[in-house]
Amino acid sequence: MVDIIFTRIYHSLDEEFGYLSKFGYVEISNGLCWLAAVARQHKYNVEIIDALPLKLNNNDLASEIAKKSPKYVGITACSIDIYGAFDFASKLKSIRPDIVTILGGAHITAVPRETMERFPSFDIGVIGEGEDTIIDLLDSLEEKNSKKLSDVNGIIYRDAGNISVTNPLRSIVDMDSLPLPAWDLLPNINKHFFAPPWTMHSGKTVTIITSRGCPYQCIYCDRKIFGNKVRFHSAEYVKDMIKTLHFKYGILHFRIADDNFIVNKKRLREICDLLRKENIKVTWSCLARVDSIDSENLALMKKAGCWSIAFGIETGSQKIHDFEKKKVTLEKIESAVKLTRKAGIRTIGFNIIGHPLETIETIKETINFNKKIKIDDFKTQFMVPFPGSELYQIAEQYGTFNKDWKSMSVFQEPVFVPHGLTKEDLIKWNKKGFWSFYLQPRVILAYLTHIRSFNDMKMIFMGGFTLISWKIKALFYPKHN
Model pLDDT for residues 256-298, shown as the tens digit of each residue: 999 999 999 999 999 999 999 999 999 999 999 999 999 999 9
A 10 A CB-CB count for 250 gives 11
Strands (E), 201-292: 205-208, 211-212, 231-232, 253-256, 283-288
DSSP 55: T
> Phi/psi at 450 (nearest 5 deg)?
-100, 10
Between β-strands 205-208 and 211-212, what pairing exists: parallel, antiparallel or unpaired?
unpaired
Q: One-letter amino acid identity for 280?
A: I
CB 54 within 8 A of CB 186: no
Residue 296, CA distances (Å) to 263, 342, 407 in order: 14, 12, 44
What does the domain layout of the chain look like in residue ranges?
Answer: 4-165, 195-480
User: In a 3-state reduction of DSSP, which class is residue 129?
Assistant: coil
Strands (E), 202-321: 205-208, 211-212, 231-232, 253-256, 283-288, 306-314
Residue 133, CA distances (Å) to 12, 128, 218, 349 in order: 31, 9, 28, 36
CB 293 within 8 A of CB 268: no
Exposure string of 22-48, with b = 16+ CB inside 10 Å and e = fewer, is: ebbbbbbbbbbbbbbbbbbeeebebbb
Strands (E), 202-345: 205-208, 211-212, 231-232, 253-256, 283-288, 306-314
User: What is the number of H-type helices and E-type strands within the chain?
Assistant: 19, 17
Domain 195-480, CATH 2.40.30.10 — does that match?
no
Q: Residues in the chain, how many?
A: 481
Q: What is the pLDDT of residue 237?
A: 98
Taking only Cα atoms into account, the Rg of the chain, rounded to an integer number of angstroms, comes to 23
Q: What is the pLDDT of residue 474?
A: 54
Return the C-alpha torsion angle 366, 372, 376, 378, nearest 10: 10
Q: How far apart are CA 252 and CA 246, in angstroms?
A: 6
Burial of 480 (0-12, 13-18, 19+ CB in 10 A): exposed
Q: What is the pLDDT of residue 463?
A: 60
Exposure string of 63-100, with b = 16+ CB inside 10 Å and e = fewer, is: ebbbeeebbbbbbbbbbbbbbbbbbbbbbbbeeeeebb
CB 271 within 8 A of CB 239: yes
Residue 390's Cα: distance from chain center in Å? 19
User: CATH topology for 4-165?
Assistant: Rossmann fold (3.40.50)
Q: How far apart are CA 301 and CA 242, in angstroms?
A: 15
Q: One-letter amino acid identity for 402?
A: N
A 10 A CB-CB count for 142 gives 12
Q: What is the pLDDT of residue 16?
A: 82
pTM: 0.92
Q: Which residues of the chain have pLDDT under 50?
A: 202, 480
Q: How far apart are CA 18 and CA 21, in angstroms?
A: 5
CB 75 within 8 A of CB 89: yes
Q: What is the pLDDT of residue 239?
A: 98
CB 292 within 8 A of CB 286: no
